[in-house]
Structure 1
């Protein structure tokens, strides 16, 4: 069992006045749950109305302050008074907690969500927040025979980012030997590689972490890259899996040997030395956004200044007082541009398509000391706060992404999606004064047609600075001194930052992966048409598992950490099936794989990001969505909870 699930809240020793000062910034729904845990009494839930989900547009619309859960400031202060009384009674009895029976817990879940829940959702919440301290996601092998079989089941994990570290922790906990191959000199994956100015996650940090290893010390609600990398590095250190990682080493090829039923993994280190590892299974945790894609622009190599990809930002680069170009207007550019606008002499933004953005006043906001105090000291506050972040991000806008086949408006895909378009349009219009600039930055495609971004006003403010120009004319060529656009202008610059994305449709690229009977994975996927059952297993490739594989990217379904835990849970239970049955390999049945992918394609095609009028990085060059998972997290959790042996061929 992961020991942190059993961790108790720290004692509350502060004076009431000091506590009162800490409460203003706290999450009201989570506070209500903590009150019930401290008192054992659900009476407060009848005195305070249930929370409601509000979107960020509504919360930022002006007028009376609206807090998380839709509470007014006066309602929040009522909860604060209830909390102070609960804390006083809790301390008076020595900080002991009453036991809550299952019926009370079920009432809390339903109060938090605002409606009656079916058994499946109740089971999901119980597992996710583990109020009882029971870890249901690890692999527990009960018999000595299973433990002995596990010890003789070596696994190679490719990548030491979020997914790879998680897989190593869980395998190590189960007694399954593993070796992690990491091409970088450190842990973190995309968060190790991306360190451009302003690089941060765009989901709340308190849900961008492993469920069994909460981090109460994020400095910002949306943490910067270095802090995220440090979190995963600490997890690897604390769970003693760093010793299993071979850094500065890259997987060159992986070949399945039919005769032995094992994988031979060829690796090469930073000095060019090759080695071959033999494994019973291979877990790819390389992700989707790990190979930068420079733009194919004529003359790119002729530029005399600094030209680089945002994911390979030069160490120590100082662009103060320089003329800088940013090519791209997606997620990375969105974070880079406000930073460069503050230091460059002139910044030219080459935009092919504008981005929809949610207004988020807290996007750069530090986590206050009150919040850190509550996460550590208020019983169960941290668990309920994490669940609130998860629930509101997964359920809040899902319906607005679904396409209505009878909807005819090209700028939206349904009536609900059009309401969102109008709200987001109004917010952008409120930020931009120049009609010419507004015409450039206001999208004409449906919300969620491309990746939707978070903004606290800094991006649109940056575009309106006198030293910033937004260019929408297409780029014709790069010269020795700058960028020439299709309108004939030469934009002279000293540096070019290419925020142009990744080879997102080339999964496991550039490794040569060869499966049963010499079948090439690259050929089976036709290069850019990756498909996998549940995004995890692939026919013809026994005991090959993917984390963050084809069609597992989340668009509106919360933190990718949730999906990683579901995928690792499934992989662990596939391994358990092999150990229990004494089999060498399992391989996904082709018919099962095909039926699943037909469903994925059909559901994706009926979304804002899958509609034909939208071009985005989620789609491959044939227009098929290869990146995104179209299901709710609860649906995917159920699909990956336990493998069905009938889906596989065992050998």
Structure 2
């Protein structure tokens, strides 16, 4: 049997799965992409200052090192160019159907095949379905009354409107997450006035960035071991964050002290600013952010940090609960993504009417984020509980891609659809959630958590533990009845 495979998405996850499948000799692959270019979040997020907060030598495929990164912490254009280059080098573009937005997919229990519904096109029938849409692909807006009543330009950071000239404007920024930390310094330089509405302050750490010289690139090219050394150095550094959050309160306290020192030094020019921006929750509970220019931007005379809660949005500005209306010409939403609504809004179902939403009524769950009981021949990239609180998600994606390829090889050998054993997946989920329930991520409200407190996003251990556990084992699966 030579299984046909549909992959949804052309970000790092979708391309990793396609490359690994191609390596194993599987070529009947269609990659469905709603846009007209590859790149995933790195295609969509074009806001000023967009960059990765994991060093590029580690935030890249292990099998495709790039000796010519322009910076240690690469900007969005360089990362998108890297993804395009990978797609070209591994001959993936011939598999991609651009402009193909997937609305849903149904598993036929009689034929053992998936029918994928594509907006404005004929359905696609395949043996194996690999959604690779990620956790950070759907912008989220805070449920603030009056959002639609604002008369000026208003947009989310992930849908940046480059036609709006912010020069001299009164700009209201809602949210202080990872994207805001990057674009606020850029906007503050040109805006007449910027009000930053902060519900919860992030911990800020120094960003050890540097521009790589041409000599640096030449050394990496001539002596690949030097680039490998840099990769593993930074892998150890960022993985140490996971060690702090999971295993070492003493190390976490050290990081907290380093963050406090950095934040005090960068806010000392503006009395009272540090008290506004210093977090009131344990370090690591929300995503820790790295920046050398965010806090200095907040210290500018034309920037105010507003900590009163927002009551409503009017046609002319933002009203806080103290009754003050903050005039605005433009509103920028830096309110993150619907990370806990994994695979939404796609409707994934079986032919008997059982939906993935029914399986996930208490929250998304899957065996190592990949396989869901009751849904044969479904393998999810960057699925539930595969986000990392400290490392590089690409490390996780490579481990998942290997599992997917091994799974497809098993389906090909047996000639039968397979599904993860329910008892195996449920035991895995119990263990994951038990670990998370006592973790630092359970101690505050964040995008990691559902409203009921369940955490469907993060992996509760180290990257190496995930890679070891996620290795394919045919005993974890059983033949699906057809």
| Shift in Å, 1:307 | 0.6
2:378 to 544, 547, 553: 544
Does 2:458 correspond to 1:628?
yes
Counterpart in 2 of 1:553?
387
Any idea what SS the aligned residue of 2:272 has? helix
2:439 to 607, 610, 634: 607
Any idea what SS the aligned residue of 1:342 has? helix
| Shift in Å, 1:370 | 2.7
2:246 to 374, 377, 402: 402
1:515 to 341, 346, 350: 350
Does 2:74 correspond to 1:223?
yes
Any idea what SS the aligned residue of 2:123 has? strand
Counterpart in 1 of 2:404?
571
Counterpart contact for 1:402–1:606, Cα < 8 Å: no
Calculate the aligned-residue CA RMSD, in Å.
1.4
Counterpart contact for 2:242–2:461, Cα < 8 Å: no
Provide Cα deviations, 1:539-587, integer angstroms capped at 9, x if missing partner.
010010111000000111x2111110000000110111122223x2111
Does 2:296 correspond to 1:451?
no
Does 2:221 correspond to 1:376?
yes
CA distance in 2, matches of 1:397, 1:251: 36
Provide Cα deviations, 1:270-301, integer angstroms capped at 9, x if missing partner.
xxx23111110000100001111122211111
| Shift in Å, 1:379 | 4.7
- 1:276-295 matches, within 5 Å, as 276-295=123-142
Aligned residues: 478
TM-score, structure 2 length as denominator? 0.96
Counterpart in 2 of 1:468?
303
- 1:30-49 matches, within 5 Å, as none
Does 2:482 correspond to 1:646?
no
**5+ unaligned residues in a row in structure 1: which ranges?**
1-148, 405-413
Counterpart contact for 2:204–2:262, Cα < 8 Å: no
1:232 to 77, 83, 87: 83
TM-score, structure 1 length as denominator? 0.72
Does 2:256 correspond to 1:421?
yes
Q: Judging changes above 3 Å, is the alpha-carbon distance between structure 1 residues 598 and 516 closer, same or farther for their aligned structure 2 residues?
A: farther
**Greater Cα shift, 598-607 or 302-311:** 598-607
| Shift in Å, 1:403 | 6.9
Counterpart in 2 of 1:391?
236
- 1:151-170 matches, within 5 Å, as 153-170=3-20
1:438 to 258, 274, 296: 274
CA distance in 1, matches of 2:352, 2:421: 16
1:534 to 350, 353, 368: 368
CA distance in 1, matches of 2:389, 2:61: 19
Provide Cα deviations, 1:401-440, integer angstroms capped at 9, x if missing partner.
1378xxxxxxxxx344233322321221122123421111
| Shift in Å, 1:517 | 3.5
Q: Which runs of 4+ in 1 moved over 3 A?
A: none
Does 2:338 correspond to 1:503?
yes
Greater Rg over alpha carbons, structure: 1
**Greater Cα shift, 243-252 or 468-477:** 243-252
Counterpart contact for 1:255–1:513, Cα < 8 Å: yes
CA distance in 2, matches of 1:441, 1:600: 32
Provide Cα deviations, 1:314-347, integer angstroms capped at 9, x if missing partner.
1333211111011000101100110011110001
Counterpart contact for 2:170–2:329, Cα < 8 Å: yes
| Shift in Å, 1:516 | 6.2
Does 2:440 correspond to 1:596?
no
Counterpart contact for 1:515–1:542, Cα < 8 Å: no
Counterpart contact for 2:172–2:195, Cα < 8 Å: yes
Any idea what SS the aligned residue of 1:156 has? strand
CA distance in 2, matches of 1:398, 1:235: 29
CA distance in 2, matches of 1:632, 1:616: 20
